[in-house]
Chain A
Amino acid sequence: MTKIKIEQGAGDDPTELVAAIVAGRKYPFTATITHKAVKPLVVPSTGLCEVIEPGKSVPFKFKNYEQVWAVVTDSAALAKRYENDEKDFVVIEVAGDEASGAPKPQGKAAVKAADAPSE
């Protein structure tokens, strides 16, 4: 299980977080999203047409690289809009381990992925 935490400012350069989500996976793949906003959110880039309640884990599909990028930047924009300083305002969890030999995320993304508790 890969767990990616998204905070304010992650949209400035989402490359590493995006790499951590897609590493070794083939499209489409399933992920879940949870958030800590005070209100239900709509994140159109997830492809979900309904609201996402705070704290509730909702499954959705990543269909391509562009979508992954958009979910990360949208999540960061929402953290900014709600002035939420938590490091895990949005958490994306992707089922399954990274495929062996797949490129490993570097830097900040790697730290965030490593911080995730093992399932």
Chain B
Amino acid sequence: MTIQMSRSIGKRSGVQQNFISDKSEIGSVASDYNGGFIGRFTRGRIDRVIAVSAEKLERQLGAAVSLSVSALGEAQIHVFEALRDGMQQAIVSRLVASDAVNQLLIATAAAPAEGAPTAPAVWATGLESEGLPSGALIAFKHLECFNDGLTCEINAEAAEDTKAVAMPSKVITVQFVDPATGKVIIGPFTGSLDPLATDEQGNSSFIADVIEKGTDLVTVVEVASGGSVPVTCPFYGKSNGKAKFSSSTLKYFSEGRTVYTALEKSAAVDRLRRSRPNFTYLCAGGSEDIALLGMMSDLGLEINKQFPFDVPGRLSPEAAANFIQSIGASVKTFYAQAYWAPLKRNNPIAGGKAYFGTAGQQIGLRCRRNAQINSKGIAPRNRVVAGSEYGLRGANITQTYEVSNDELELLAANQINPCIFKDYPSGAKYAWVDSLTGAQTTGATKLIAVAEMGTWLDDKVAAYGQETLQKPMAESITMMTRFLGHPQSGLLPAIQSAGWLNPTGDLDGAAYQAQVKRNEAAPYDEMDVLYDVCYDGTNRITRAQQTIVRQS
């Protein structure tokens, strides 16, 4: 083949073809369909957040707990409803007390003692601080911390010496089974107990390396030096053509307290702060915990994420208003959005009828809306999840409190959005009848639609701003100017065409203006990005007047 070009040319004659430079990147905020949740669950990592999908809800968070048993079971309802109604992934931070203990899963390969009918137990648990007990073969740590235990299984591959005599094996297969479903959820992994062992390609086949390559849910903590599996061990080789597995369900994780100190709540909130992947909404899982609600709201403010939360539905409107006032300034921003649903309905995951919040369902529906992007990648965030187009989903719903007009005024004055029965001409439903943020203002930020659009716009600008960092100043200014205002591909024209903005006299009849320039005080390394926008609003109040005139 004749190669027509080179990648670098000095003095010789030829064609230097440089590497393709792709500057067509559009960028996206993929987190638009995710929510960040906090709550108590019976399964889930306790060292960092976990991403939960609808298909693996029970596998990852454990069996649902009835609200009759524990009010803490509400968090899982919120995750379920959000995933069911449109959220792609739940980013979950599990509340856990400091007295929780995650013990090691320890396998021992012992042959039966002489005269003994059975071999000693293969599987046991042990404290990590004590390490691998004497005589044990290998210790694992399961990081998903299942309250209901984990079924551990191990087999050793039969080995023979040159004379075809069975000899102790160094190759084991381990797998871990969900005790609730009986399905293998981690593994199988086959590897050697010898740290120097390699496979045909020369890669390490040491069991710790094999497992580390295959999963981050289990780690090998320790392998016995020179360990092997004796021929008489109960899990050595095969029986009737099938690998002999020693299996045992170990209750290795002790959850400890299910009530939490301020520090423990703060740690769970911090796990959300450090979360990868990203998310757009925060949810406290129906918690009534005043400190936790305050912390989550503060986090929303810090990381530019909205925080729809629930005021307990069993409270009267007056008590609901006082509840909001009790939490205080934390929820008085446009990031915090309070919902009050005086409704009992069937628990969709654990049965029984109870009060539980609607924030999870709100998040699901908002994510579903966010997925409906137009050709320029803009979702109809100017349409709030409220009013006649959205009904609360649920079975056997009973409204336990009939709200008077005075009480609706009180709720609105305290920025609480009721979810109540409403007979719209298009059909009766339990609907979110208002869309107020916690901001105590008469300005636009009192509207959830404005919070939706404003937070999204800031997220986009901040994300693109990252791309401009460490580039030459003039190039950065050009990049950001094009990003914001280019007539065809710019962000601001795109959101205007999506109906988010409204022309205003304050901007000389325009709906937005943007300016990107060097900072006057620090022109070499600071760039100022200024953008003014006038958002379209939400019709919350319609005033109509009929006037009857006299016949003439």
- Using a CB–CB distance below 8 Å, which chain A residues touch chain B? 11-14, 37, 39-45, 49-51, 65-66, 69-70, 73-74, 76-78, 80-82
Contact = CB atoms under 8 A, between A and B. Distances in A.
Nearest to B260: A73
B318 interface: yes
B245 to A, nearest CB: 40
B289 interface: yes
B372 interface: no
B328 interface: yes
Most chain A CB within a 10 A radius of its CB, from B294, B316, B325:
B325
B263 A42 contact: no
Closest 5 CB pairs of A and B: A77-B291, A69-B259, A44-B288, A42-B323, A81-B328
B441 to A, nearest CB: 21
Q: Is the interface of B mostly helix, strand, loop or mixed?
A: helix
Contacts of A42: 315, 319-320, 322-323, 326
18 contacts: A12-B263, A13-B263, A37-B326, A42-B320, A42-B322, A44-B312, A44-B323, A45-B289, A49-B315, A51-B318, A51-B322, A69-B259, A73-B291, A74-B290, A76-B291, A77-B291, A81-B326, A81-B327
A50 B262 CA distance: 25
B258 interface: yes
B261 A11 contact: yes
Contact of A78 (B261, B263, B290, B318): B290
B259 A74 contact: no
A11 to B, nearest CB: 4
Contacts of B314: 49
Given A11-B291, A77-B291, A39 B315 contact: no
A75 to B, nearest CB: 9
A66 B72 CA distance: 10
From A14, A66, A81, residue with most partner B Cβ within 10 Å: A81
Nearest to B70: A66
Given A73-B289, A74-B289, 8 more contacts: A11-B261, A12-B261, A12-B262, A42-B323, A49-B314, A49-B319, A76-B262, A77-B289
Contacts of A39: 322, 325-326
Interface string B255-281: 001111111000000000000000000
